[in-house]
Structure 1
Amino acid sequence: MDTTVTHLGSVVVAALRAANYMESTIGNYQKTIRLLDDYVAVRGGEYSPSLGAEFAALTTSPRTGRFSAVRRFNYTRLVALFDSYLRSGEVVLARRKRGGGGRQPASVGFIELNASWEADMADRGLAVATREAYGRIARGYLVYLEDQGITSLDVADPATVTGFFTSLLDRWAQSSLFWQVSNFRPFLKFIGRNDLVEAVNLIGARRSHPILPDLGDEEVTRVVQACASLPRISSRDAAITLLSLMTGLRACDLVDLRIDDIDWRGQTVSIVQQKTKNPVTLPLPGLLAAKLADYVLAERPDSDDDHVFLRSVAPYTGLVDHASIYKVTDETFRKAGVTDVRAGTRLLRHAAASRLLRAATPLPTIAAVLGHASQESTNVYLSVDEKRLRECVLPVPKRAWS
């Protein structure tokens, strides 16, 4: 096989054009191909995965001397396509999910351990998002150990755990450590290291309980009207936003929604939620059903993929993860003129629950609509029912005034 960058690059570009990628995107690939060609030319002229990894690691901009996310993205995606062709004889254009990236362990023992951990999570039927979160923090710890010259868990002591979490503060906020600790414990229990579990407990990460902002009726009305009438909001983006706002569906369930999940005659959507594994059937109000129909019949690209929501540019595959949904909902809010909130699905689920609560809907019903595994998860929404909270305030005893 011809493994020159020129040949491999021509194969990749042909695959991109066949998949209807925009010429501007192909142009960015071609620019990176030229840079890779220059890099490989002085190192023997033949591309290999190891040279590709070296090239992808060049994430420092020569202009600024600082890390460049653009360089990392462009270099990594090209190398992935080259490697997929060398590995399978086909340029694999499938989108990679977030959460599965980052550095991978390099030592044989840690590679095998990581594979065993991934297999164990899959065997237990953990949700994909959960496996990604657990796997990411476990890989991070193994890579941290390798950076310290440790390639066996037998010599990893509790200090490596506290040191690892200290290193996370370079890129994670202190308030995020609770979730990282929570995601890390299952891995430590899997490897049977109770001493490391106890070290995690010493970190003292505390869960924050912020009161989420609530969307006012005026803001909700503005967004709904924009979804109904603004031409610059596509049917896909309107349907995603309205689904989240009106039904409170999680981002992972919006991403995984399939054509067969929709009952068009009954105007309902029925799914098994990824997070709780609970089945739920939700009504589709008229506007939402109309936008979904507009998207499926007139706007949705032709594709064998049975996901309801597909990418709007090639490759026409399902959306990747919660970040894709956030981009859609946030941009829709911006176009509707609601700019003072971060309009992710967490806020929109919160807004859906708050409206149900204000309508005197019983908590068990709200829990069922939102798909909570426990009614206690729904109690957080009581914090925004200001009217009923005021009714709970006791009068100040007269004696206290004297």
Structure 2
Amino acid sequence: MKEQMSVTELIQTVSQSMKGDGIKQDYITQLSYTWKALEQYLIAHDLVFSKENAFTFLKDKYDIHADQNFAKLRPIDKRRKRAVCALLHCADGKSVYREKTYWPCSFHDAYVLPFYEFLNERKSQDLALSTINRDIYTLNHFSKYLQESRISKISDISPAIVQGFMKWLAEQKNLPTLKSASASMRVLLRYLYQNGYIPEDYSPVVLSVRCRKVVPSVYQTDEIEKMLVSFNQSSAVGIRNYAMVLMAARLGIRASDICALEFKNIHWERNTIEFVTVKTGKPAVLPLPADVGNAIIRYIKDVRPSSEDHHIFLRMQAPFKKLNPASLHMIVTNAFRDAGITARPGRCHGPHALRASLATSMLEKEIPLPVISEVLSHSDTDTTKMYLKVDMHHLRKIALEVPGLTGVWMGGVRI
């Protein structure tokens, strides 16, 4: 019977199955974008749903190949492939979705209590599952190293032990893994010190691991304006989303900071937005442009739910609580799609792309790097320098003329 189901029936079945398994509606909604695109593709090409046609759709629409390594796909492409695979599994009578869970913890008895307390503290911060699993991965290896080093108590940890662990980890893991572990170790060591498990804060002992930075994804000014116009401001959700995305586009504020903004951070009398950044803990004072201010006022006066929560931007359905950064990422992604602006492979499409676009635009206007660094709340100007990679306006001025190939031997022939 399932082999005869249409793609529409499969989508309905998979969606209901996921809801029954307790999968969050936000995630199902994200998958539905791929499902709708697949449905339209099959209709346009007069095709029936099959494994061959489904993977042809992925290749034609998103340049995702059937034999492509799943781990190397972008997060959005992984989600697109999962959406199609869920339909294929349903058509074959298999389970459509296996919910992701926390990785198992393998801590030695001597470290169980502080390590579990640390993880519970991290979980209470509403961090992504991948971040918590990164911490668990690091703790598992740290526990193994402490046991092999005959460290019987957490209080016996020393700078030499921390450095020895990082060296031990570096000998068997690759650079990105070491970078993630170093971030987890700094947070762990600060936690252990603040909670009295170790006598000093050894987090500065963990050196920063720098991986090769990728080229930032940027959009032209006309693309961003086209994206902003795409919001449906006749709806309450559209008014809220427009205000949030406008702040990201005009001021380059991180998604985490936009979601964390409270009424006390808006100083109408001075026309400024003043807050402490979530990522760096650095105070930021930014001007409040008229269009951003008007968008915020319209949202607050006309559509913001009545709530005692001090955060400015809230969910539009009960419980009325602040949005998380992942929600804003999805809002920006949807806005680009609604505006007909496609994200080519390797091109990001979230709030950080708006931030990078603003930095590039400021560089084109000859604004000094220290000023841009201050606007973006970077900890130092070295971070801001990454945007020089896409500053085509200035790169063209220093481009060297490519010499001709006359007199060069190629393949044994002089040209």
TM-score norm. by structure 2 comes to 0.57
Task: Classify 1:355/1:29 alpha carbon distance in 2 versus 1 (closer, same or farther; 3 Å).
Answer: closer
Query: C-alpha deviations, 1:33-60, integer Å up to 9, x for none?
Result: 9xxxxxxxxxxxxxxxxxxxxxxxxxx9
1:168-198 CA-partner distances (Å, limit 9, x unpaired):
xxxxxx8853541332443787899xxxx9x
- 1:269 matched to 2:273? The reply is yes
Q: Quick one: which of 47, 52, 68 aligns to 2:98?
A: 68
Corresponding residue number in structure 2 for 1:46: none
Percent identity, aligned pairs only?
22
3-state DSSP of counterpart to 2:387: helix
Choose 175-184 or 210-219, whichever is displaced more: 175-184
- What is the distance in 1 between the residues matched to 2:285 and 2:166? 48
Deviation (angstroms), 1:355: 1.2
Contact kept in structure 2, 1:256 and 1:307, CA below 8 Å: yes
RMSD of Structure 2 on Structure 1 (CA): 4.8
Shift of 1:271: 0.7
Question: Partners in 1 of 2:170 and 2:380 — Cα distance?
Answer: 35
Deviations 1:195-252 (A, max 9, x none): xx9xx99xxx871221123201220120232348675961111111111111111122
**Paired position in structure 2 for 1:139:** 136
Q: Which residue type is aligned with residue 115 of structure 2?
A: N
Structure-2 separation of matches of 1:315 and 1:28:
24
What secondary structure does 1:234 align onto? helix
Structure 1 position 372, deviation (Å): 1.2
CA distance in 2, matches of 1:184, 1:283: 34
The DSSP-based 3-state class of the residue aligned with 2:313 is coil
Aligned residue-pair number? 295
The higher relative CO (CA closer than 8 Å, separation ≥ 6) is in 1
Task: Give the equivalent residue in structure 1 for 2:287.
Answer: 283
Residues 323 and 337 (structure 1), Cα distance of their counterparts in 2 relative to 1, 3 Å cut:
same
Deviation string 1:350-395 (CA, Å, 9 cap, x unpaired) is 0111111111111111111111121121111111221211222356
1:354 maps to amino acid:
T
Counterparts in 2 of 1:330-345, with a 5 A limit?
330-340=333-343, 342-345=348-351
Preserved contact between residue 134 and residue 183 of structure 1 (Cα < 8 Å): no
> Against the structure 1 CA distance between its residues 31 and 272, is the aligned structure 2 distance closer, same or farther, given a 3 Å change threshold?
closer
Q: Which residue of 2 aligns with 1:374?
A: 380
Q: 2:325 aligned with 1:328, yes or no?
A: no
> Are the aligned partners of 1:270 and 1:279 in contact in 2 as well (CA < 8 Å)?
yes
Q: How does 1:3-402 map to 2 (within 5 A)?
A: 64=94, 68-69=98-99, 103=104, 108-115=109-116, 136-143=133-140, 152=147, 154=149, 176-177=176-177, 179-186=179-186, 207-227=211-231, 234-320=238-324, 322-340=325-343, 342-394=348-400
How far apart are 1:401 and its partner, in Å? 9.1
Secondary structure, counterpart of 2:275 in structure 1: strand
Q: Deviations over 1:314-366 (max 9, x none)?
A: 2111123x312211211222222223253212211101111111111111111
User: What is the TM-score when the length of structure 1 is the normalising length?
Assistant: 0.59
Contact 2:272 2:285 in 1 (8 A): yes
Spell out, residue by residue over 1:266-317, the C-alpha distance to the aligned partner (whole angstroms, 9 max, x if none).
Answer: 4321111122222222122222222211211121111111111112222111
Please tell me whether the aligned partners of residues 228 and 335 of structure 2 are also in contact (alpha carbons under 8 angstroms).
no
Q: How big is the shift at 1:138?
A: 3.5
Give 5+ residue unaligned stretches, structure 1.
Answer: 1-26, 34-59, 74-100, 123-127, 167-173
1:31/1:217 CA distance change after superposition, 3 Å:
closer
8 Å Cα contact 2:232/2:238 also seen in 1 = no
Unaligned runs of 5+ in 2: 1-15, 23-88, 152-163, 193-197, 409-415
Matched residue type, 1:325 = L
